[in-house]
Amino acid sequence: MSALEELFGPIIEEASKGIDIPDAVTKRMSECLVGLLPLEPLTKTELNETAAELLGLMDTG
């Protein structure tokens, strides 16, 4: 399991089900993702979309 999967896996799984993720969690994920991606801090919508994309990447290996 990659570090990304360990860090975000459970949160990404919940977000992919359409479950609302608390603001404090999305803020922390955004801060982490900003360190990984050349982006400004993400909005909650952008973060959920990114989480869904990451989940898709994890599913395809």
pTM value is 0.34
User: If phi over 0 gives left and psi between -120 and 50 gives alpha, with beta otherwise, what is residue 18?
Assistant: left
Q: Inter-axis angle of helices 3-16 and 44-60, to 10 degrees?
A: 120
Q: Would you state the structure tokens that stand for residue 8, as one six-digit string?
A: 């975000």
In which band, very low, low, confident or very high, does the pLDDT at 3 lie, cut at 50, 70 and 90? low
What pLDDT digit, counting tens, does each position of 14-44 carry? 777 877 777 777 777 777 766 666 556 667 8
If 0-12 CB within 10 Å is exposed, 13-18 middle and 19+ buried, where does residue 45 land?
Answer: exposed
Instruction: Determine the distance from the C-alpha atom of residue 58 to the mean position of all C-alpha atoms in its chain, rounded to a whole number.
Output: 12
